[in-house]
Amino acid sequence: MQRHLQDARAVFVISPAMADLYHEEFGIRGEVLFSPADACLEPVWTSPSKDATSRIAYFGRLGGWQLDALEKIAAALPSERATLDVFTTDAAVPQTLMRQGIRICSPIDHAKVSAEMRKYDAVLLPVSFEDEFQHLTKLNIATKMSECVASGTVTLVVAPADAAMVKLLEPSGAAYIVCNPTAAALTDAITKVRQPLIRRRILTAAQRLVATQLSTAHARSKWQTALARLRPAE
């Protein structure tokens, strides 16, 4: 593998953490290429919920490196003051998610996902805290991450501090991040994602991150640079 990587004219990796690993293990510099998304025209600066209930949504699978973090936030939902809508293609729903305040929803067309996200106070990115998934959490960036950050509503990340997505999003301030998933911390997060000043700070940072790292134009530029290296010299 090392020979193939060193002979390659361009190497793409899925996260800065993986780029660091490739440099340490193989002595090569990989180019980070995220699954891209473009920012909405106008973020949802104020809470879209019209009452005292915080509304959170999750779009994705219900197993593997998402489930235990999902279970933690499900257990922390303040009774009658917060709801979690789960949009998933999974037919089997874990019993731990069958509780008051959680609604299992059918998946929607991809073209409608971003608009649907903006109906919620936050979209959830859960990342496992279990040791068995560290090979994923420390290196992987979820394909849904860019779409969440670009959606125009707050991204709520529940993840260990050494997760690749935390290391990317925390310095930029582009998400509300909970790394110590106690019931108190999660309940506090569910409430605070509605506060106007917090929303404006996070959503402004999210716009900036999308423009500089996550946009379709940024990804296209990286592809074009890589393709240029493959063309024979004139």
**pLDDT tens, position by position, 208-232:** 999 999 999 989 988 887 777 777 6
Q: Are residues 22 and 115 in the same domain?
A: no
Same domain, 221 and 204: no
Domain limits for position 136: 54-212
Query: Quick one: three-class SS letters along 130-178?
Result: CHHHHHHHCCCCCCCHHHHHHCCCEEEEECCCCCHHHHHHHHHCCCEEE
- Kindly report, residue by residue over 122-144, the tens digit of the pLDDT: 999 999 999 999 999 999 999 99
Domains held by the chain: number: 2
124/202 same-domain check:
yes
Residue 76 to residue 190: CA distance in whole angstroms: 9
Q: What is the H or E stretch that residue 199 is in?
A: helix 196-209
The pLDDT value recorded for residue 22 is: 82
**80/189 same-domain check:** yes
* Percent residues over pLDDT 90 in the chain: 74
CATH, residue 163: 3.40.50.2000
- What pLDDT is recorded for position 1? 60
Angstrom distance (rounded) from CA 173 to CA 37: 18
Q: What angle do CA 113, 171, 159 make, to 5 degrees?
A: 60
Give pTM, 2 decimals: 0.92
pLDDT at 234: 56
Same domain, 140 and 26: no
Quick: pLDDT tens for 135-180: 999 999 999 999 999 999 999 999 999 999 999 999 999 999 999 9
Q: Tell me, yes or no, whether 45 lies in a domain.
A: no
